[in-house]
Each structure stands twice: as structure tokens, then as C-alpha cells.
Structure 1
Amino acid sequence: MKQNTIRTNSMKAWLLAARPKTLTGAAVPVMIGTALAYTDSTEIYSFNHVAAILCFLFAFVMQINANLINDFFDYMKGTDKNEERLGPRRACAQGWITTDAMKKAIITITVAACIIGLPLTLFGGYEMILIGIICIVFCFLYTTHMSYIGLGDILVVVFFGIIPVCITYYIQTRTCTLETFIMSIASGLVTDALLIVNNFRDRDTDRNAGKNTLVVRIGPENSLKAYLYIGLTAFFMGSVFLINGRYAAFAMPAIYLVMHIITYRKMKRIYKGKALNMCLADTARNIFIYGLCVSVGLMLQ
């Protein structure tokens, strides 16, 4: 897509900056936490649909905020150089969004996330305020610092796995089971595959920009192995469902595992260049398949 086809600060420009395709990654952990809570709901803590909707909305808004923050700060650091970039074009680097407008949007969406998240205190208690603050702080720290020192993958496991799955479950049940915690880690691992393939594609430009991602640190061959093994690990972590006789919730993600292995082989074959964007899209699809399979499997128990 050429720069001059997008009018500066237009609706189309903001839509591209928001990266709506990434919202599936935000939805999956909340989906899994919601499905677990729904199947575990009791007469004391019955499932609340309003709370579930708020969890989804908060996750979506925070994902958009993270995308804008990433766009802005990577541009300011010079990471998204147009002539070198292999991934999808970014709004600030392309001139689609001005830096002043992006700063105002980040402030506005951060405030919107606070407004959406505040009512969750009615369901999960005032500790939800602390959780919200942590999410917002690390939303900024990921792009500005953590991703540059190879800690981005840990943050993905925490903020796309442990926190959204466990907190979504806690809001509905006021507790957190071992089963939920294990599946929260599995959710984080599945989502981290997206970061690995993204950083695998950008390993050369990241290294040149001083961005020492995990892929840069461990090298391409070990990164390919990491991509494969986190998918395998996530699938087999689902064996925790067998303890409670949730056989479908364990078996159905086998569909995801097959798709994950196919994507791994494609990624290994392509190895480098813009063609890896196909693997990025495939991985995003796989994440959604995983969340859907786990959630439907739970409902079928």
C-alpha cells in the first residue's frame, strides 16, 4: 500500500493504526477465562454477562492502545524505517498519522480503558484497580523498554495469558483454580508464538536497531524450535482437563496443534523475508482456533 493513498489522520489511517486483526489475540485469553468461569459457575457466584462483556471490551481497548504505543515509540526510536521494514507498514512511519495526533489518541484511549475497567471493581473488588494500573504501565513498558532487552515474550505470557485468563475467571467466581492457572499459561504460550514469528522475520533489522529480542539473543534456529515447542507445550498443558473429565476441552485443540505444526514447517521453509508475513497471519489464525477449540470443548463437557 502506497503512502499517498492514505489521507493523513483520516478514519482509514486510524483503522490501520489500530490493527483490528490483532484483536483476536486479545479476545482469546478472555474467551478461555470466560468459558472456564461459565462452566464452573455456582449458585453462590452465578455467571454475570455484563462483567464478561466489560472484560472483553477492556482487553480490546488495551490491545488497540498497545498497538498505538508500539507504533509511536518504535517510530520515535527509528525502529520502523520504511526502507528496511519487512512487516506491515506502520502509521507514524508512513505519515498516515501525525505524532501529535498519535500522542493525543494514546492519552484518550488510556483514559477510555480506565473508564471501561473501573466498573469491574463492582464484580472483582477494588483490587481490580491495581490490576488495571499494572496493565496500563506495562502496556507502555513493553515497547519502550522490555521488548528491547528480550523480555517481551515474558510479558506476553503474563498479559495475554496469566492475567486476562485468571482475572476474568476471578471476577466471575472470586477464586482461581489450578486448572485455570495452568490454562492461563497455555494461553500465553500460544499467543507468544505470534511474537516469535514477528521477531523472527525482523531479526536482522531489530539487531541493527539495538532491539535485542529473544530471537536476536538465541538465534534463528533456536527460535524455530521455540516456536514449535511452545505450541506443543500449550497443547499438552490441556491434559489438566482430563482430571475433571473434560475430555473434549483436551481433545479439540488437537486441531490447533496440527495447524501450528503446518505453520512451523512453512516458517522453516521460508526462513526469512517478507514472505514470513504469511506465517504471521497463519499464527494469528491458529491462536483463534486454539481459543475457540478450548472454549467449545469446555461447553461440551
Structure 2
Amino acid sequence: MIDISAWLREFRYRFLLFVSLPVLLGAAIAYMYYPVDFSLGYFLLSVIAMLLLHSGTIIINDYFDFRSGTDILNQSRTPYSGGSGLLPENALKPWHVLLVGAGCFGLCIVIGLLIVLARGPAILVIGFAGVCLGVAYTTPPFKLCYRGLGEIARLAATPLIVFGAFFVQVPVFSLPELVSVYPALFTCLVASLPVAFLNAAALYIFEFPDYEADRQVGKNNLVVKLGTKNASYLYFLMQAAAYGSLILALLAGIIPWPAAIVLLLIPASAYAAAGLFKHNAEAKKLLPYLRATSNVYILASIIMVLAYILRF
């Protein structure tokens, strides 16, 4: 009998919003520049494809983290870190999890190809890159998150999602058409940077409670490579890059001024950074700072989306 509650936990539904927000941002920018081309149907399909890609990534990650032993050793699991915990609890069978993860990737590819046929080949390039990053994140022989490359992959993923959502709404079938939308693409890039750094910072701080288990099995992400103390400085730099890129974009007039409301979140980011510097090696005390970082990313992304909507 299928345990629905267990599978809901396996899909880590709290993180589905993480990947939906960049899709909203890319679609909002596309609508601002090219409102006539906007398609609600293809927007919904792009959201579903993104959710499937993200679900496949985290489910496959759960499977391989279980196989490596890090989720079994982890005694500091939080709602934000340590995987779902379902495989160590024997609540789900490993091969079922692997099969569902692969199925999510398969459905994502099918929907993506349908969108490509209708909305242009640019989506194929971006979608291919996204699927490659998702598969390579944990799957051997790539195992990016075991080699200190997972953080870079996550940072790159947000602009990719924004660009992908844009091209879903703005079909481009030739090089001249691509050149003609350059101003909007530049806006996508600049607008995605603050969101990308905040997203990367959130997913990065989630690694800290797993430090000991990850270190023991050789999951050499950047927190393990740097050690929790030095890794805390990189977290601070990610936050600084987020707000710095936002301020520069505001001053250059590339991002609408309502996005300046994001700067009101700086105290929350400072709170999380101070807590991380103080408790970086104390996994049980990190939960408030994980939650604060997650909330900052979500709120900042919503504000960015609304900044473009309010400009219409």
C-alpha cells in the first residue's frame, strides 16, 4: 500500500517554492517586455517541468546520500537539512525512490520537449543544461555535491531558470531574433543575480548541520572542504554579493525601484550570519538561522517578482 504521507515528505514540498520563484521572475520580466507573447498555459507547463526537475534532483540525492551512508550517520537532521530521513527509517524502499526520481526526470524531459516544439530551440539548450546539472548533482560518476561543485551548480541554476522561463514566453527561432531580445535578456541576468546569491546562501547554510556526517563519508562539499569556521565567511560573502548586486542594479536603473524593499531584509540576513559565525559547529543550534536564511530568499524573490508586476 502506498504511504502518501511518506511520499509527500520525500518530495520535500517546502523546497518546491524555492524553484518556482525564479520561474515567476523570468515570466514577469518576459511579460513586461513582450506582453502580447505571454501564454498562461505554457507558463503553467514550465512551472510543472521545473518542479519535476527539482523533485528528481532531490529524490535522487536522497537515494545516493543513503547509499553513501551520510543520511544514516546524520544525527542532526532538520526540516532544511539531512535529507528526508525516510530511507534510514525504512519508510520507503531505496529502489522505489530511485525509480520515482528517474521518473520525475523523464516527465520533465517530455514536457520540456513539448515546450521546445512550440516555443523555440533556445529552451532546449537551457533545459538540457538544467537536466544535466540535476542529474550530475549527486549521480556517479559526476557527484558534483561530493566534490565541492554542488554550490556552483546551485548558483548557476537560478539564472538558468529565469532565462528558461523568459524563453518559454518569448519564442526565439533565429539568431536575429535572439539579438533583438538582448535588452530583456540582460535584465533577466541582472535581476537573477540577487535571487541566485540568496538562494545559494540558503542551500549553503543548510549544509552546516550535516557537516560531521558528510565529512565521515567523504561528501566533500565546500563546508567540509573549508571547515565550518572558514565556511561561515563564504556564507557572509554570498549574502554581501546578493545585496551588493541588487544595489548596483538599482543605481543603474536596471531593476525597478520597488525592488529596493529587499534591502529591508538585511537585518534578517545579518542575524543569520551572526548566528552562523557563533554556532557554526553546533548543529542543534543552527535551526533559527537556517529558517531566517530560507525566509529571506523567499521574501526577496517575491518582492522582486512584484517589483516587475507593479511596473506593468
Question: Is residue 159–residue 196 contact of structure 2 (8 Å, CA) maintained in 1?
Answer: yes
Instruction: Determine if contact 2:74/2:213 at 8 Å carries over to the other structure.
Output: no
Is this contact kept in 1: 2:22–2:301, CA < 8 A? yes
Partner SS state of residue 143, structure 1: coil
How far apart are 1:98 and its partner, in Å?
0.3
Name the counterpart of 1:253.
262
**TM norm structure 1:** 0.88
Consecutive unaligned residues of structure 2, counting only runs of 5 or more, are 173-180
Residue 214 (structure 2) aligns with: 206
Q: Does 1:284 align with 2:297?
A: no
Q: CA-to-partner distance for each residue in 1:164-197, whole Å, 9 max, x for gaps?
A: 0112123323435222112223322111112221
What is the CA–CA distance in structure 2 between the aligned matches of 1:139 and 1:253, rounded to whole Å? 29
Which residue in the other structure is 1:139 paired with?
Answer: 134
Contact 1:150–1:213, Cα closer than 8 Å, also in 2: yes
Amino acid at match of 2:23: V
SS of the residue corresponding to residue 252 of structure 1 reads helix
**Contact 1:194/1:283, CA 8 A, preserved across alignment:** yes
Q: Which residue of 2 aligns with 1:87?
A: 78
Paired amino acid for 1:151: L
Per the alignment, do residues 205 and 299 of structure 1 end up closer, same or farther by CA in structure 2, a change over 3 Å counting?
Answer: same
1:170 and 2:167 matched: yes
Structure 1 stretch 146-155 or stretch 228-237: which is displaced more? 228-237
2:49 aligned with 1:58: yes
Number of the residue aligned with 1:69: 60
CA distance in 2, matches of 1:23, 1:248: 28
RMSD of the alignment, in Å? Answer: 2.2
Distance in 2 separating the partners of 1:146 and 1:237: 26
Q: Deviations over 1:200-247 (max 9, x none)?
A: 222222111111111122222332222122122112212324434754
- In structure 2, the CA distance between the partners of 1:185 and 1:247, relative to structure 1 (3 Å rule), is closer
In 2, Cα distance between equivalents of 1:84 and 1:189:
28
Secondary structure of the corresponding residue to residue 95 of structure 1? coil
| Matching residue within 92, 101, 108 for 1:106 | 101
Is the alpha carbon distance of 1:82 and 1:149 closer, same or farther for their aligned partners in structure 2, counting shifts above 3 Å? closer
In 2, distance between residues paired with 1:228 and 1:139?
26
Q: Contact 2:26/2:166 (CA < 8 Å) preserved in 1? A: yes
Matched residue, 2:177: none
After superposition, the C-alpha distances for 1:111-159 in whole angstroms (9 at most, x for unaligned) are 2212322222145313433433332232121113101110011100111
Corresponding residue pairs, total: 291
The 3-state SS of whatever aligns with 1:86 is coil
Q: Which runs of structure 1 show a deviation greater than 4 angstroms over 4 or more consecutive aligned residues? A: none
Q: Which deviates further from its counterpart, 144-153 or 249-258?
A: 249-258
Q: Percent identity?
A: 22
Gaps of 5+ in 1: 1-7
Do the aligned residues in 2 keep the contact of 1:58 with 1:113 (CA within 8 Å)? yes
> What letter is aligned with 2:269?
H
Instruction: Kindly indicate whether the alpha-carbon contact (under 8 Å) linking 1:37 and 1:169 is maintained by their aligned counterparts in 2.
Output: yes
1:156 partnered with 2:151:
no
Residue of structure 2 equivalent to 1:3: none
TM-score (norm 2): 0.85
Instruction: Report 1:215-254 matches (<5 A).
Output: 215-238=223-246, 239-244=248-253, 246-254=255-263
**CA distance, structure 1, for counterparts of residue 74 and residue 266 of structure 2:** 36
Pick the aligned partner of 2:308 from 279, 298, 301: 298
Is 208-217 or 123-132 further displaced after alignment?
A: 123-132
Cα distance in 1 for residues equivalent to 2:199 and 2:117: 29
